[in-house]
Amino acid sequence: MTIYFCDETYKGIDFTADDVQPVEYENCEFVDCIFAGTNLQAFSFEDCSFKSCDFSNAGIQNTAFKNVKFSSCKLIGLQFDTCNPFLLAFSFDSCILNYASFYQLKIPGTSFSNCMLLETDFTETDLSKATFNGCNLGGAMFGNTKLEKADFSGSIDIVLDPDQNHLTGAAFDLECLPGLLLKHGIKIN
């Protein structure tokens, strides 16, 4: 039997201390909570928001994120490619997503705003119409990634091969040009 919580607010709770069992949360708010290293397998979060929470290296296999907002959260090393893809939808504002994986996910329209995405894997991901405003994408991996109409305004350290990704209608700042031409060995002054 799954435990269900709705319209609750959780502040400063350390979820790593509990013997966690799968729980369904709907329309809940989490502030300054710690989930780092916690096994959240088969949990469900729908219409929830997380502010200043730490999820670093949490296990999210088959975890459902349905219309979830992350703000100023640490999500280091999360394997989003293992979570439940049904109705998967989230947004990230001022989050640290270094070493995360979104491999092969279909997440068009996802918003990444002012995020650190160092060494993050976006290989074969559908990010059509996604926004990467003000993000640091140093070492982020793109390969056969759908980025049609994606917006990279204000983002830095982007290196991707236009021949190996789908970029029709994508928007980049002029400063991103060297990262788009890197494979050609062209120097831009």
Q: Where are the domains of the chain?
A: 1-20+28-96, 103-176
Instruction: Please give the radius of gyration of the chain, using alpha carbons only, rounded to the nearest integer.
Output: 17
Least confident among 26-35, 56-65, 158-167: 158-167
pLDDT > 70: what percent of the chain? Answer: 89
DSSP code of residue 141 = B
| Beta carbons of 38 and 57 less than 8 angstroms apart | no
pLDDT, mean of residues 165-172: 90
Full-model pTM: 0.92
Angstrom distances, CA of residue 109 to CA of 89, 96, 121, 161: 9, 19, 17, 21
Beta bridge pairs of residue 3? 23
Architecture of domain 1-20+28-96: 3 Solenoid (2.160)
Asked if residue 22 has pLDDT above 90, the reply is no
pLDDT at 189: 61
Which superfamily does CATH assign the domain made up of 103-176 to?
E3 ubiquitin-protein ligase SopA (2.160.20.80)
Same fold across 1-20+28-96 and 103-176:
yes
